[in-house]
Structure 1
């Protein structure tokens, strides 16, 4: 059985990839308002700051910075995933036993996390997040994808509106 080792760094910044169990579904953008509400509810209960985020049809990437002294991103993700799954209507073909066990099968059970080491690591992952819709072929420019923090970053002067990353970021394989 695999041994998963999580990097619990109090007050740290973490890059996450979270996937739907069925990568052919489009639940995250079809129910984007629900996903945003779940983020807000968890953030209200257990604060964190979202540095960057992109929501694609079947997965999302984000960077969270936790409060000083707090390293518990696992509980935040558990609450967020559970809240989203519970609020979705029952889907055609969903097995009753899974629903009875309160297990919807919406999300992959695991998530991918990386503790960011320094400012360069942070910037590389922010760039990766913003380039991701282009990488997956949804748009030609990051600014054309509406479900991303890219426009917020442009408004803050962190990127030009027509930004494309260096070749090294385009080659990152974090999905």
Structure 2
């Protein structure tokens, strides 16, 4: 399979990012695995200084709206780190079937690890207008509604939807002022 046509261009715009788990495995149904991703998103904000405007974590993928001058590198590190801690957790909990799935789904060109948690690529889409930002934010926040998990986006625990309605989500986000 060839490289993605999606690329990071100008670094002074936010990007809409989608990252999926290999094989569509619904690993984020496990709250401890989801917490690992949330903790890593917090680290991205606090230590790597990435601006996180919005997010949603679904059972087998995540959507982010983020901005940073070195976004590509930092998100690759995020995926590498979370992939490693997820595999370590699954091994520790003796979830051998999932570990085997992640081993069997690994692309041959990934030589630096025995397993692969995330699909290759980030599918970045540059957000260059406020209208596009609103569309993407609505898309990610309504993802759990569209899938039938909740009737109201603010009821999905693993999302920034509540932050945009004046509440406080599990992790902080930078509210987009545009």
Tell me if TM exceeds 0.5: yes
2:156 is aligned, of 129, 145, 148, to 145
C-alpha spacing 1:10/1:100, structure 2 compared with 1 (3 Å): closer
* Count of aligned pairs: 150
- Superposition deviation, residue 39 in structure 1: 1.8
Q: Runs of 5+ in structure 1 lacking a partner?
A: 157-175
CA distance in 1, matches of 2:114, 2:44: 19
Superposed CA RMSD in Å reads 2.3
1:52 is aligned, of 51, 54, 62, to 54
When you count helix as a share of all residues, which structure comes out higher? 2
- Trace 1:80-99 onto structure 2 (pairs within 5 A): 80-88=78-86, 89=89, 90=91, 91-93=95-97, 94=100, 95=103
- Superposition deviation, residue 29 in structure 1: 4.3
TM-score under structure 2 length normalisation: 0.74
CA distance in 1, matches of 2:48, 2:143: 27
Is this contact kept in 2: 1:29–1:55, CA < 8 A? no
* CA displacement, residues 15-34 of structure 1 (integer Å, 9 cap, x when unaligned): 011100021x2223421211
- Superposition deviation, residue 82 in structure 1: 0.9
